[in-house]
Amino acid sequence: MTLEKRLTEYWQSNSLTEPGSTVIVACSGGPDSLALLDILWSLKEKLAIKVVAAHFEHGIRGQASKDDESFVKNYCLEREISFYSESANIPELSRARGESLETCARQMRYAFLNRLAVELGGALIATAHHGDDQAETVLMHLLRGTGLNGLTGILPKRGNIIRPLLDFTKAELVEYCHHQGLSPRHDATNEETDCTRNRLRLQLLPLLKKEYNKNITRSLCNLAETASAEEELLHELTIKAEERLCQLDGRGENSYKIKISDFIKEPLAIRRRLIQQMVSKISHGTALSFQHIEAVLELIDRNATGSSLNLPDRCTAKISYDFFYLSKKTEKILTSHGTIEGTPYKILKLGSSVVLPYGDTISAYAADSLEGEKSFSKNKIYCDAAKCGTELIVRYRHDGDRIRFENGNKKLKDFFVDAKVERSSRDRVPLVVNSCTGDIIWVAGLRQTTVALADKDTKQYIILSYDKGEE
C-alpha cells in the first residue's frame, strides 16, 4: 500500500477533518514536515481540505534559520501554496523570560500557529509527529510510570491540532522525500535537548531494536492505538459513573460526595478512575499516584466515620457516615480585609463571567469591531482575540510571575511595588492569562500587558471587564 493510500485511510478512520477544513501544515523545512506538506498538498482534493503552510523562524541558528524559512517559502511559491511565517528572536526572548530555548520556542511557535488558525477562521494545525516520536513518547511515559492513559502516547487529534503521520516511521518519511526528489533542510528543531528523550532515542531504542524486538517502534505504536481506544471507552464509563454517583457537596465546586454503598459496587477499574477524576476536577488537573489512589480505596474500604487522608495539592478524602468526600481545602488569600477563600484558577469563557471571592467579577465577550464600545478604562480593556490563545484563565499571582510591556518585561512583584499596591492586597489582584502560552494579558484593574494588544491587523476583539463588586 502506498504512503498516500495509508495516510488517506488513517485520515478517514481517525476523522481528522470535516470536508472543507483548512489545514495549516507546520513546516520547519526538515524531512518530516516537508513530507507532510508535500503529501497533504498532493492529497488535498481527495481529503477535501484546503492546505496552507506556516513556518516559524526562531532565529536560534542565525543565517541557517533564515535559510530554512526561504527554503519552505520557495517550496510553497513553486506550488502556489499559501505561505505564512513569523520571526522571533528566541535566544533573546528566552533569556528575558528566564525560560529554556526549547520551551520558549515551542510556546511562541504554537502561539503563532494558534493565532493563524483563528485568523483563517478556525483552521486545524497539522504537525509532523511520526511513529518514532510516538514510540519514544509511549516508552518515556512507561519508564516514568504510567497507567493506560500514558500509553496512549500522542493522539492523532487533540483540540485543533492533528497528527496525520503517527502511522509512519521516520525512515518512511525520509524515503518519501528522497523518492519525490525533495531535498529537505537539516531538521534542527528535532534535535531536542530534552535529555531523557535524547538518551531514549540514541541509546535505549536502538538497544531494544537490536536485542529484543526489531519492530519495537511498530509494537509501541500499535500499543498506543489500542490503548487510545480503550482509554476512551474507560473514560466514558467513568464519566457515566460520575453522573450516577457523584454529587456536589453544596460547598461549591471544591467538594464532591459519593455514597459508599454505591461506590463499592463499581468495578475496581472504575473505582480507581473515579477517584482520580474527582480529584482532578476539584483541583484542576492534579494527578494522583498509584499509591495515593490505593490509599483512598483502603480508606473507603475501612469505612470509619471521621477518618481522612491528605492528598497532594491540598486535596483530602474523608469518610462521614454513608458517604466519602473528596474536597480541596480552599486557599487562604491574604487581603487588606483579612483572609478569604478562593479557588486556584477559573476558566473565563467568552460571553460569560467568573465570580471571584468577595463577589468581584471578570467578564469577557467577543466583538468584530470596537464601534459602539465605550469607556475603556483600567477596569475595561480590549484585546486581539487571535493573541489570547484558545482559552482565558483567571488566577491570582504565583511566585515568579512576570509581565511584558513595550520596553521589556518585569517581575509582577516589582510592578506591584512600582504601582504602590499594598503587600496585603497583591494576592487578590486577578490576573487574566493566555492558557496556551501562560502569558499574563491583564493585571485586572491595573495594567494591560503587550501580550494581546490589538493593532491594525486585528480582526476580532475580546473585551474584558473587571467589576470590583461590593468593595
Neighbours of 374 (CB within 10 A): 7
Question: Rounded to the nearest 5°, which phi and psi values hold at 352?
Answer: -145, 180
Least Cα distance to 4 among 36, 27, 48, 52 occurs for 36
DSSP state of 170: H
Show the site string, 133-172: x = touches a second copy by CB under 8 A, - = not. ---------xxxxxxx--x---------------------
Which one of the spans 94-102, 225-233, 239-247, 463-471 is the region binding a second copy (CB under 8 A)?
A: 225-233
Which one of the spans 22-30, 263-271, 371-379, 440-448 is the region binding a second copy (CB under 8 A)?
A: 263-271
What SS3 state is found at 192? coil
Least Cα distance to 427 among 358, 348, 363, 377 occurs for 358
Distance between CA atoms of 231 and 291, rounded to whole angstroms? 20
Residue with smaller CB distance to a second copy, 48 or 229: 229
Residue with smaller CB distance to a second copy, 47 or 464: 47
According to CB under 8 A, which one of 198, 213, 247, 424 is a site residue for a second copy? Answer: 213
The set of residues, in sequence order, having a beta carbon less than 8 Å from that of 16 and lying 6+ positions away, is 124, 156, 157, 162, 164
Which one of the spans 71-79, 86-94, 193-201, 357-365 is the region binding a second copy (CB under 8 A)?
A: 193-201
Q: CB 44 → a second copy: shortest distance, Å? A: 23
- Calculate ∠ Cα 392-438-423, nearest 5°: 95
84-143: contacts with a second copy (CB under 8 A): 142-143
355 scored as a contact of a second copy (CB under 8 A): no
- The helix (H) or strand (E) run that includes residue 432 is strand 431-434
Q: CB 145 → a second copy: shortest distance, Å? A: 3
204 scored as a contact of a second copy (CB under 8 A): yes
Per the listing, cell 470596537 goes with 370
290 scored as a contact of a second copy (CB under 8 A): yes
Q: CB 155 → a second copy: shortest distance, Å? A: 13
232 scored as a contact of a second copy (CB under 8 A): yes
Contact 412, 443 (CB under 8 A): yes
1 scored as a contact of a second copy (CB under 8 A): no
Residue with smaller CB distance to a second copy, 290 or 321: 290
Q: CB 51 → a second copy: shortest distance, Å? A: 26
219 scored as a contact of a second copy (CB under 8 A): yes
Task: Give me 86's grid cell.
Answer: 513569523
What SS3 state is found at 125? strand
Question: Rounded to the nearest 5°, which phi and psi values hold at 153?
Answer: 60, -140
Residue with smaller CB distance to a second copy, 145 or 285: 145
What number of H helices and E strands is found in the chain? Answer: 16, 24
Least Cα distance to 296 among 322, 254, 263, 253 occurs for 263
According to CB under 8 A, which one of 15, 103, 183, 226 is a site residue for a second copy? Answer: 226
270 scored as a contact of a second copy (CB under 8 A): yes
Distance between CA atoms of 449 and 40, rounded to whole angstroms? 38
* Residues contributing to the site for a second copy (CB under 8 A): 9, 13, 142-148, 151, 196, 199-200, 203-204, 207-208, 211-213, 215-216, 218-219, 222-223, 225-227, 229-230, 232-234, 236-237, 267-270, 272, 290-291, 298, 301
